[in-house]
């Protein structure tokens, strides 16, 4: 049985040169080695393959039928390696080929997808595969090159580029506040109509604190709960109740005045840990040009602070 793993690329190149020139000495001069070393390489190939590749006599070196067959495979293997080398070299100069991206559903719809036309204009040789899911994605096991993630970064098995922190806002429409009044503090929330996001682990907890103090959970009885943030946002815009949502989801609504921020002097959240918005990728020594280019593009697109935040909150 052949142990082809022992055949080096250099041995194949020498074999091809001997086949073409039918002369050990000519190949030896090209390679800067002795004719006996060229002969030894050919003998080693023959031993590995278990086949004679050349007839040798004092006047000529003639390929055997097996030599004629093997040279076709040798040329193909060397050619394939050259194609790979060329493609890798091209990728080191310009992003190209497939880039697999993953993002949470609503963040992806609102902030990743709108940037794709600009990304393609910048790097037209990229092929983009974007998957939107709120399921946990492991970059070492799942097919993803760049993962947009919101949460606590604790796993050292991947690299992360942080775009910024996620901040939450309590908000309601002007119509709701005109009809039901403005809550002055978190204790008032239990007397208001609240619209609560419900994930796989149940309804979100509503937490609040004064800056620098401990988080306090304020229990509420929601008028409506849903596992669809867009549905809750539409209801809030229609004057149905109060929502507690991240800045990237309702920032533009606050800026336009469609929603009014409540208790701006309080910090509000659904978790006590700092939540970062990041791009993560497998912990490799040399991240690909595709990965670096895509992440750098979104760093510039999102800005610092991210365009959906106010400067005051982002610097808080």
**pLDDT tens-digit map of 267-299:** 999 999 999 999 998 766 667 889 999 999 999
Counting beta carbons within 10 angstroms of the beta carbon of residue 283, is it exposed (0 to 12), middle (13 to 18) or buried (19 or more)?
A: middle
Counting beta carbons within 10 angstroms of the beta carbon of residue 140, is it exposed (0 to 12), middle (13 to 18) or buried (19 or more)?
A: exposed
Instruction: Average the pLDDT over 297-304 and give the result.
Output: 96
Instruction: Average the pLDDT over 93-117 and give the result.
Output: 93
pLDDT tops 60 at residue 1: no
pLDDT tops 70 at residue 307: yes
Q: Identify the pLDDT of residue 93.
A: 80
pLDDT tops 60 at residue 315: no
Confidence of residue 314 (pLDDT cuts 50, 70, 90): very low
Counting beta carbons within 10 angstroms of the beta carbon of residue 233, is it exposed (0 to 12), middle (13 to 18) or buried (19 or more)?
A: buried
Instruction: Average the pLDDT over 41-49 and give the result.
Output: 91
Mean pLDDT, the chain, whole residue set: 89
Phi-psi region of 87 (alpha: psi -120 to 50; beta: other; left: phi over 0): alpha
Which run of H or E residues covers position 298? Answer: helix 289-302
Beta bridge partners of 100: 129
Q: Which residue has the tokens 């690299």?
A: 159
Q: For 228-254, what is each residue's pLDDT tens digit?
A: 999 999 999 999 999 999 999 999 999
Q: Identify the pLDDT of residue 289.
A: 86
Q: Identify the pLDDT of residue 316.
A: 43
pLDDT tops 60 at residue 63: yes
Q: Identify the pLDDT of residue 282.
A: 78
Q: For 77-93, what is each residue's pLDDT tens digit?
A: 888 887 777 667 766 78
pLDDT tops 70 at residue 144: yes
In the DSSP assignment, the letter for residue 259 is S
pLDDT tops 80 at residue 42: yes
* 8 A C-beta contact, residue 159 and residue 280: yes
Instruction: Average the pLDDT over 105-122 and give the result.
Output: 96
Q: Identify the pLDDT of residue 136.
A: 77
Q: For 203-235, what is each residue's pLDDT tens digit?
A: 999 999 999 899 999 999 999 999 999 999 999
* 8 A C-beta contact, residue 113 and residue 298: no
């Amino acid at each position: 049985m052949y142990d082809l793993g022992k055949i080096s690329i250099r041995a194949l190149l020498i074999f091809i040169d001997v086949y073409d020139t039918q002369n050990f000495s000519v190949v030896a001069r090209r390679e800067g080695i002795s004719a006996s070393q060229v002969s030894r390489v050919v003998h080693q190939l023959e031993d590995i393959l278990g086949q004679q590749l050349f007839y040798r006599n004092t006047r000529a070196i003639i390929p055997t039928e097996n030599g004629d067959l093997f040279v076709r495979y040798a040329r193909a293997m060397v050619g394939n390696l050259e194609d790979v080398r060329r493609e890798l070299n091209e990728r080191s100069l310009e992003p190209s080929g497939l880039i697999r991206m993953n993002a949470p559903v609503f963040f992806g719809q609102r902030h990743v997808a709108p940037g794709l036309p600009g990304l393609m204009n910048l790097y037209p040789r990229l092929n983009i595969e974007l998957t939107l899911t709120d399921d946990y994605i492991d970059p070492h096991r799942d097919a993803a090159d760049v993962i947009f993630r919101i949460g606590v970064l604790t796993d050292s098995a991947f690299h992360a580029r942080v775009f910024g922190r996620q901040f939450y806002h309590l908000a309601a429409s002007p119509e709701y506040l005109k009809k039901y009044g403005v809550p002055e503090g978190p204790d008032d929330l239990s007397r208001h109509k609240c619209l609560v996001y419900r994930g796989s682990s149940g309804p979100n907890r509503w937490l609040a604190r004064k800056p620098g103090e401990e988080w306090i959970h304020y229990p509420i009885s929601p008028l409506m709960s849903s596992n669809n943030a867009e549905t809750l946002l539409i209801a809030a815009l229609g004057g149905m109740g109060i929502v507690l949502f991240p800045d990237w989801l309702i920032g533009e609504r606050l800026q336009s005045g469609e929603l009014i921020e409540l208790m701006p002097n309080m910090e509000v959240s659904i978790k006590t840990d700092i939540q970062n918005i990041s791009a993560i990728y497998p912990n490799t020594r040399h991240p690909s040009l595709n990965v670096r280019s895509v992440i750098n593009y979104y760093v510039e697109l999102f800005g610092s602070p991210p365009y959906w935040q106010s400067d005051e909150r982002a610097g808080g």
